């Protein structure tokens, strides 16, 4: 009974509508966003009252700057049975007001053919900020690999291979007082052919600091597990206090677990499978 009565009411309404329906004499306009890429409009004409014009405009989304593909540095071949003895570290002289001030490029030690004042191996790529003593004459500081430098002005070059412990996106970060230039991969850090760095290489990341402010600069690289990647840091202090931090953040670990203690993952340059004929020429 109830449904019959309901149908009767609906049929009644239908006939009533047919009778009173008329063309709308006014419109209202409403604008809504939609997922299309162009503006469209739809007019809804009811039986009574004003027509409604619906204008559909594309969603306003901020223009996406296309995220750059991560750099894929190329690895080198290494000698079998090479030991993770650490990175090479070489200490070079750096004139006051030299590398780190913008007056000398990170290639100055190559182009000037400088010989290291001291050399060692290190797994650690960090030394803390120091403060000048009251009398800076003869001021020295400990750095890495047991190398003690003239604290006021010096350059340290860290180089060798990083054995990627997993595959994926690694984030390499650096902070320094006054400057560290990060070179990574075949040809950039050094040649896989002869182990020599190029004076023309453009660093992947540069960190500049001073006056106890050492902002961090990071860059992403995509690496493959088990491959040996050339790495080179050119760290310089052109005068006064100094600091250095070079870290590698592995995929799948928290940011806090990025490390500047690369023990087990870093190998000296002597591990490279270099072509003897080219190395000797």
Ligand X SMILES: *[C@@H]1O[C@H](CO)[C@@H](O)[C@H](O)[C@H]1NC(C)=O
CA-based nearest residue to 88, from 110, 117, 121, 126: 121
Given candidates 260, 270, 273, 275, which one binds ligand X under the rule CB under 6 A?
260
Q: Pick out residues in 29-48 that bind ligand X (CB under 6 A).
A: none
How many residues line the site for ligand X (CB under 6 A)? 31
Given candidates 89, 147, 205, 234, which one binds ligand X under the rule CB under 6 A?
205
Output the smallest distance, CB 28 to ligand X, in A. 53
**Is the CB of 197 or the CB of 203 nearer to ligand X?**
203
DSSP 239-272: SS--EEEEEEE-TTS-GGG-BSB-TTTEE-GGGB
The piece of 54-62, 122-130, 162-170, 224-232 that touches ligand X (CB under 6 A) is 122-130
Output the smallest distance, CB 202 to ligand X, in A. 7
Q: Is 253 in the site for ligand X (CB under 6 A)?
A: yes
Q: Which two tokens stand for residue 260?
A: 């500047």
Measured at the alpha carbon of residue 84, what is the angle toward residues 82 and 89, in degrees to the nearest 5? 110
Output the smallest distance, CB 67 to ligand X, in A. 16
The piece of 53-61, 69-77, 90-98, 160-168 that touches ligand X (CB under 6 A) is 90-98
Asked if residues 128 and 141 have their Cβ atoms less than 8 Å apart, the reply is: no
Given candidates 206, 227, 251, 275, which one binds ligand X under the rule CB under 6 A?
206
Q: Is 270 in the site for ligand X (CB under 6 A)?
A: no
**Is the CB of 52 or the CB of 259 nearer to ligand X?**
259
**Is the CB of 79 or the CB of 253 nearer to ligand X?**
253
Q: Is 125 in the site for ligand X (CB under 6 A)?
A: no
**Is the CB of 57 or the CB of 129 nearer to ligand X?**
129
Q: Which two tokens stand for residue 94?
A: 């750096």
Residues 87 and 111: their CA atoms lie apart, in Å, by 22
Binding mask 162-191 for ligand X (x = CB under 6 A): -------------x----------------
Residue identified by tokens 């070179």 is 183
Residues in contact with ligand X by CB under 6 A are 84-86, 93-96, 121-123, 126, 150, 153-154, 175, 203, 205-206, 208, 215, 217, 245, 247, 253-254, 257-260, 263-264
């Amino acid at each position: 009974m109830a449904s019959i009565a309901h149908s009767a009411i609906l049929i009644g309404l239908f006939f009533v509508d047919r009778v009173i329906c008329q063309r709308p004499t006014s419109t209202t306009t409403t604008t809504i966003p939609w997922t299309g890429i162009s503006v469209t409009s739809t007019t809804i004409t009811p039986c009574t009252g004003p027509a409604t014009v619906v204008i559909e405009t594309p969603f306003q989304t901020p223009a996406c700057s296309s995220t750059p593909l991560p750099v894929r540095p190329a690895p080198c071949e290494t000698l079998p049975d090479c030991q993770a003895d650490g990175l090479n570290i070489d200490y070079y002289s750096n004139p006051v007001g030299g590398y780190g001030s913008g007056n000398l490029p990170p290639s100055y030690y190559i182009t000037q053919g400088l010989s290291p004042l001291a050399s060692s191996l290190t797994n650690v790529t960090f030394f803390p900020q120091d403060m000048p003593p009251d009398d800076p004459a003869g001021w020295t500081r400990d750095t890495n690999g047991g190398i003690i430098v003239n604290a006021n002005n010096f350059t340290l070059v860290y180089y060798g291979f990083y054995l990627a412990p997993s595959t994926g996106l690694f984030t390499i970060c650096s902070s320094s007082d006054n400057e560290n230039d990060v070179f990574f991969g075949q040809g950039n850090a050094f040649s896989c052919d002869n182990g020599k760095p190029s004076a023309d290489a453009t660093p992947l990341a540069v960190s500049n600091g001073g006056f106890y402010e050492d902002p961090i600069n990071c860059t992403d690289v995509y690496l493959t597990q088990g491959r040996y990647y050339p790495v080179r840091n050119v760290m310089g202090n052109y005068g006064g206090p100094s600091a250095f931090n070079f870290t590698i953040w592995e995929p799948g670990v928290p940011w806090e677990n990025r490390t500047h203690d690369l023990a087990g993952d870093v190998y000296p340059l002597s591990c490279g499978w270099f072509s003897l004929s080219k190395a000797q020429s």
